[in-house]
Structure 1
Amino acid sequence: MRVRTAVKDPGTYRDLRWLAAHLLYGWLLAYASLIVWIFGILVDGVWCWVLGHRAVVLPLLGRLADLDAAWSRSLLDLSPDARRSAELADRVEELTATRAGAMAAHGAELRRIERDLHDGTQARLVALSMRVGLARRAYDNSPDTARKLLDDAQDQVEEALTELRHVVRGIHPPILTDRGLVGAVRALAAGSGLEVEVTDDGVEGGARAPAAVEAAAYFSVAEALTNAAKHSGSRRARVELLRTPGSLRISVCDEGCGGADESGGSGLLGMRRRIAALDGIVQVSSPVGGPTAIEVELPCVW
C-alpha cells in the first residue's frame, strides 16, 4: 500500500528527477568548490593575511552554494499549475472529511431529536389521551374522578409542552432570534450553575452574524459550559466573544482540573464537527491539572 502510494505521488518523480540531475551538476559543483578552496587558501591567504586586503576567492563558495540551492529548488518545486492542483486536491479532501463529519453530526442530532420525541413528548401525549378518555367515561357517573383525571391531564399537557420546548431549543434556540448571540450566551451563563464572566468585543450592537454561525457559536458555548459544570470541578468560567473583520471568535475557559479527552465520544467531538462544517477551527487546551481553554473561530461575513 505504501509503495503504491509512493509510486502515484507526483513528488516521487520530482525527487527522482532531482537525484539524477544532482548526480551530474552536484559533482561539478563539488569539484569547483574544491578548486575554489585550494585556490582561495593560496591566493586569499597571502592577499588577506599578508597584505591586509579582503578575501576575493573564498566568497565564491557562497555563490556556488546559492547556485546549488537555486537549481535544486527549480527541480523540486511545483509549477504554478501543479501547485494549484495540489491545493485543490487538499481542499477537496478537507471538504470531504468535514462533510462526512457534518453528516455524522446531523445524523446523531436527528437520532437525539427522535429519541426525545419518542421517549418523552410522544409518551406523555399518549398518556394524556388515555386520561382524557377515562375522564369522558367517568364524567356522568363520577364527576369528582373525572375532575381529578382532567387535573392530571392538565399537568401532563404542561410537562409535554416543556419537553417539546426543550427539543425545539435543541434545534434552534428561540432566544437567539429574540436576544441575539450575546444575550443568548448570557442566558446560558446564568443557567449554567457556574460563576461565568461574559465579555463582548464588538459582537453586540453591530450587524448580526448569519443564523448558522450564531447557532454554531451558541451550541459551542453551551457544550463548553456544560462540560465545565460537570467535569472541571471549578465554580468559575469565562466566556469571551470577539468580532473580527472576517470571523467570529469564541473563547471559553474554566479553572478546573483539565484532562478533557475527545477520544471518548464526548460532546467536544460533536462541537468540532459542527464547527468544521462551517470551515471553522476548534482548539482545545486541557492539560491534566487544568485549566481548560476552548477556542473557536468561525468564518463570518458581517
Structure 2
Amino acid sequence: MRATLRQAARATVHLFLAAAMAFGSYLFITVLLIAATGAVSGVGIWLLPETVLLIRRIAGAKRRLTASWTGREIPEAYRTVTGPLRERLRTAVGDPGTLTDLRWMGAYYAYGWLTLLMLPLWPVGLLVDGVRRALLGREALVLPLLVRLADLEAGWSAALLRPSPQALLAGRVEQLTATRADAVAAHGAELRRIERDLHDGAQARLVALSMRIGLAQRAYGADPDTARKLLTDAQDQAEEALTELRHVVRGIHPPILTDRGLEGAVRALAGSSGLGVTVRTDLLPDGPRAPAAVEAAAYFVIAEALTNASKYSGSDRAEVVLARSRTGLSVRVCDEGCGGVDESAGSGLLGMRRRVAALDGTVRVTSPVGGPTVIEVELPCVW
C-alpha cells in the first residue's frame, strides 16, 4: 500500500503540473491570436519569431516534465532563429520543429483539460481504497488509476513532442555545420600557434646557431680559443633548438602517447602538473586503444584542465578519471578549488570545446562558486 501511495502521490504531482501547464496554454491562445493577426496585417510581423521562441520554451518545459515521469529524454530539434527579421521569419516558419510544437499545443488544448478532472481522484481514491482495504481486505483500486492516467498523459505528450525525422536531420545538419566551422577555426588557430612557435623559438635559435658557426669558421685560424667558445655556444644553441622543436612536436601529437598509451601519458602529465593528482582508469594496458585523434583530444583536455587547476583553482589536489563507455571514451577532471570558472575569461575551455566538437564529442563544465570544478568529456569512438 505504501508503494501505491508513493506512486499515486508522484502521479498526482505530475498531473497537477500538467494541469497548470494546460491552464497556461489556454491563456497563451491570446498571444497566438495577437501574433497571427500581426503577421497577417504586417504591422506586428516581428512578433511571429518571438512567439515561436516562446512556444519552444513551453514545449521544452513539457518535454522535461514528461521525461521526469517516464525516465526517457525527449530530444529537441530546432533551427537557430538568428539574423535579420526576414531570416528569422523564414527560419521560424520553415522549421519542422515549429509544426511539431503547434501540433502538440493544438492537441493539448483538447486533452489537457482532462488533467484538471483527474486531480480529485486523489482524495476520492484515498477514501475508496481505504474502505476496500479495511472492509474487504483488498488492494487499492482507484489510486493505481492515477498512475495509469499519468502514464497515458505522458505517453500522448511524448508521442506528440517527439521531433520528426526531418527535424532531427535538419538539427543534425545545423550541428555538423557549426562543428565543422569550429573545427576549421581550431585548425587555423593550431596552425598559427605552430607557426608562431617555430618563428619565435626554433627558427630564431637556428639563425643564431648559423651565425655562431660562421663566426667560428672565420676565427678558427687566427683565434682558436674564440672559435672553440663560439662552437660551444653553437652546440648550446643546437640543443635549445632541438628542445623547441620537441615542444612543437608535442603540441601536434605528443610522442608519449605513442610510446606509453593514454594512461601512461596521463600519469606522466599528472606527475609533472605540480598538483597531487589521483588517476583512476579502467583502460587495460594490453587492451584495445582508442583512435589516435581521440587519445590526443583526451590528452589535451586533461593537460588544459590540470593547467587551469594549477593556476587558478587554489587547490593542490585533483582527480582524473578515464573510462571506456558504451559509445566511446569518457574523461573526467575534478579539482577541489574555488570554482566559479568563467569560460569567457580566456580559461582555455573554448579551445577545449572546439577540439572535442571536431570529433563530435561533448564537454560539460560544472563549476559553482566555492567549487568543485568538474570537467566531463565524452569522445565517441569504436573500440
TM-score norm. by structure 1 comes to 0.78
Partner in structure 1 of residue 215 of structure 2: 134
Give, in whole Å, the separation in 2 of the partners of 1:20 and 1:180.
56
Q: Which residue of the other structure, out of 337, 340, 343, is the alignment partner of 1:262?
A: 343
Q: Which runs of 5+ in 2 are unaligned?
A: 1-84, 118-145
Name the amino acid aligned to 1:8: G
1:7 aligns with 2:93: yes
Q: Aligned Cα RMSD in Å?
A: 3.0
Q: Which residue of the other structure, out of 142, 149, 157, is the alignment partner of 2:230?
A: 149
Tell me how far 1:5 sits from its aligned partner: 3.5
User: SS in structure 2 opposite 1:294?
Assistant: strand
Give, in whole Å, the separation in 1 of the partners of 2:107 and 2:325.
49
Structure 1 residues 12 and 219, CA, compared in 2 at 3 Å: closer, same or farther? closer
Partner in structure 1 of residue 29 of structure 2: none
Tell me how far 1:22 sits from its aligned partner: 10
Give, in whole Å, the separation in 1 of the partners of 2:104 and 2:330.
44
Tell me how far 1:86 sits from its aligned partner: 1.1
1:247 aligns with 2:328: yes
Tell me how far 1:290 sits from its aligned partner: 1.0
Structure of higher CA gyration radius: 1
Partner in structure 2 of residue 195 of structure 1: 276
Question: What is the number of residues matched between the two proteins?
Answer: 262
Name the amino acid aligned to 2:362: I
Matches within 5 A, 1:34-113: 83-113=164-194
User: SS in structure 2 opposite 1:112?
Assistant: helix
Name the amino acid aligned to 2:315: S
Name the amino acid aligned to 2:251: G
Deviating beyond 6 angstroms after TM superposition, the runs of 4 or more aligned structure 1 residues are 14-23, 75-78
1:168 aligns with 2:249: yes
User: SS in structure 1 opposite 2:279?
Assistant: strand
Give, in whole Å, the separation in 1 of the partners of 2:274 and 2:337.
14
Give, in whole Å, the separation in 1 of the partners of 2:266 and 2:248.
18
8 Å Cα contact 1:213/1:298 also seen in 2 = yes
Give, in whole Å, the separation in 2 of the partners of 1:19 and 1:252.
42
User: SS in structure 2 opposite 1:288?
Assistant: coil
Q: Which runs of 5+ in 1 are unaligned?
A: 34-61
Give, in whole Å, the separation in 2 of the partners of 1:269 and 1:14.
33
Give, in whole Å, the separation in 1 of the partners of 2:104 and 2:241.
72
Partner in structure 2 of residue 228 of structure 1: 309
Give, in whole Å, the separation in 2 of the partners of 1:100 and 1:146.
54
Tell me how far 1:245 sits from its aligned partner: 2.9
Structure 1 residues 136 and 218, CA, compared in 2 at 3 Å: closer, same or farther? same
Give, in whole Å, the separation in 2 of the partners of 1:18 and 1:179.
54
User: SS in structure 1 opposite 2:164?
Assistant: helix
Name the amino acid aligned to 2:377: V
8 Å Cα contact 2:269/2:303 also seen in 1 = yes
Give, in whole Å, the separation in 1 of the partners of 2:290 and 2:360.
15
8 Å Cα contact 1:203/1:242 also seen in 2 = no
Give, in whole Å, the separation in 2 of the partners of 1:106 and 1:174.
20
TM-score norm. by structure 2 comes to 0.62
